[in-house]
A and B are shown apart, each in its own frame.
Chain A
């Protein structure tokens, strides 16, 4: 009876599987787009694709005869991502440079004539973005000619802090755009035509805590021409996960906690909102993309800097190019991950990754045991930022 049931079960599962939904033709593009948004504000180590920031530990060297010091440099592999994504496409009008309102990082928006993944040829909306984990560029599907306006994307991500930039394309008649918040409030944006592009590009910047539900487009007389619903990005499981162990309060108003989503993950929160994530399951812990060990994983967000370090580390220093620095004492992790945790604040404005910095670890007697150099970032595209 068991064998008969097992055989029937095999047949049933095999036959049923044939009725699974087919994959859409552009699934890879959809997945990559969502993945990038989701990790947009996470640390470089978690991912990195079109261009990756890879920590490259240098050979161990002896400094001052006081033991081994691990030194490393976070290296940005550079190439012109605009030129790469434009292979086989024609630029329409000019490129529109826009800064990410939260980080000051450059973003490029533009229109191009291209054949999309569905095989349609026409005007597509493209973006190039510089993130902590690297830079990437992509173009979407052919824009519907009949639509007054379309929503094309945003800098929304998880974890998120600060403001979010929303953007898209609109027809000639559109003179103004507003984001419509859940409570009905309107947040005005900008509508610009880059050069002689066949469509305008609209942008709206809104606080990440504001639930934007739609965008409203009006003509020069204030008449509403179109209302476009904002497409929800896929919610991330980590956003609603509960910690699996008691959390720990850290300096600078941060709270660190362990979550299983399902990978074991350390999530840092400020005012209840996640601002940093580190994968801490044993095989990922303190490893770069090549699987090599590194002494520190650092995240910096709006004046807070925090992370995990080699368990021997007693103090961490953040050293800026002008020689000024900030320090933080480490704390043992209560979850027995095998690291120390650190958290501090600094007075620098904007993204410290743009100008570069060094992060240095000291042991209990004050001896430097590791050092990691984060060089200033260089533009990911030539010409206009």
Chain B
């Protein structure tokens, strides 16, 4: 099997999982698709090296997380290679409580959200999160603590739940 075939096989198997990760990282389907597309393009560029030395999925998730917190995200909106269906965020989640928390996540700075996603969605340890985001463990703990505090106050006072600050 050549590199192209292996790359195509990787995407076929893992693209949906990466989109789910991109979705909880960014909070909306367009940014999820944008992040996934950009990370996969970068993975493709590095494929011969990554395939031999690293776990391609971990590499892609790391790129997605770093892209999400970088200035790249604020500068551009990728022209997607496919149409992303619009969804109403209000009918997404099974309870008002989860809906409130999901909306509260929107108010977090990107780094805080990324740390919480890596810790509570990806189940990574703080040391692993530090490596993924390229920041110190102390910064990870600080972002996690601040993020949780903001979520706690936001869900207890829904009026503060909106307004992205990064």
Where the two chains meet, the residues of A that have a C-beta atom closer than 8 Å to any C-beta of B are 1-2, 5-6, 8-24, 27-32, 34-35, 38-39, 46-50, 52, 232, 234-235, 237, 240, 261-262, 284, 289-291
Q: What DSSP secondary structure best describes chain B's contact surface? A: helix
Which chain A residues lie closer than 8 Å to B76 at the CB level?
235, 237, 240
Q: Is the CB of A46 within 8 A of B41?
A: no
Which chain A residues lie closer than 8 Å to B148 at the CB level?
2, 5-6, 9
Q: Is the CB of A19 within 8 A of B19?
A: no
Q: Is the CB of A21 within 8 A of B84?
A: yes
A83 CB, min distance to chain B CBs, angstroms: 14
> When chains A and B are docked, how far (Å) is the Cα of A20 from the Cα of B37?
14
Which of the residues A10, A19, A284 comes within 8 Å of B121, measured between beta carbons? A10
> When chains A and B are docked, how far (Å) is the Cα of A20 from the Cα of B152?
25
B21 CB, min distance to chain A CBs, angstroms: 7
A18 — nearest CB in chain B belongs to which residue? B20
Which chain A residues lie closer than 8 Å to B98 at the CB level?
8, 11-12, 15-16
B93 CB, min distance to chain A CBs, angstroms: 5
Question: CB of B55 within 8 A of chain A?
Answer: no
Q: Is the CB of B101 within 8 A of A12?
A: yes
Which chain A residues lie closer than 8 Å to B4 at the CB level?
32, 49-50
Tell me the chain B residues, 71-113 only, with Cβ under 8 Å from chain A.
Answer: 72, 75-76, 78-79, 81-82, 84-85, 87, 92-94, 97-98, 101-102, 105
Which of the residues A13, A15, A19, A23 comes within 8 Å of B15, measured between beta carbons? A23
26 A-B contact pairs sorted by A residue (CB < 8 Å) = A2-B148, A9-B101, A10-B120, A12-B105, A15-B93, A15-B98, A16-B102, A20-B16, A22-B16, A28-B8, A29-B8, A32-B44, A34-B41, A35-B41, A35-B45, A38-B45, A39-B45, A47-B44, A47-B46, A49-B4, A237-B75, A240-B76, A262-B72, A284-B49, A290-B52, A291-B52
Q: How large is the interface on B (under 10, 10 to 19, 20 to 34, 35 or more residues)?
A: 35 or more
Which of the residues B23, B47, B82 comes within 8 Å of A24, measured between beta carbons? B82
Q: Is the CB of B78 within 8 A of A234?
A: yes
Q: Is the CB of A19 within 8 A of B44?
A: no
| Proximity string of chain B (10-54) to chain A, C-beta cutoff 8 Å, 1 when within and 0 when not | 011001100111111000010011001110110011111100110
B9 — nearest CB in chain A belongs to which residue? A28
> When chains A and B are docked, how far (Å) is the Cα of A284 from the Cα of B59?
14
> When chains A and B are docked, how far (Å) is the Cα of A233 from the Cα of B156?
45
> When chains A and B are docked, how far (Å) is the Cα of A181 from the Cα of B4?
35
Question: CB of B70 within 8 A of chain A?
Answer: yes
Which chain B residues lie closer than 8 Å to A47 at the CB level?
44-48
> When chains A and B are docked, how far (Å) is the Cα of A50 from the Cα of B7?
11
A23 — nearest CB in chain B belongs to which residue? B15
Known: A20-B16, A35-B45, A291-B49. 13 other contacts (CB 8 A): A1-B152, A8-B101, A20-B22, A24-B81, A27-B15, A28-B11, A30-B81, A47-B44, A48-B48, A50-B2, A237-B72, A262-B134, A290-B52
Which chain A residues lie closer than 8 Å to B8 at the CB level?
28-29, 32
Which chain B residues lie closer than 8 Å to A18 at the CB level?
20
Which chain A residues lie closer than 8 Å to B151 at the CB level?
5, 9
Q: Is the CB of B81 within 8 A of A34?
A: yes
A45 — nearest CB in chain B belongs to which residue? B49
Q: Is the CB of B121 within 8 A of A14?
A: yes
> When chains A and B are docked, how far (Å) is the Cα of A39 from the Cα of B47?
13
B36 CB, min distance to chain A CBs, angstroms: 8
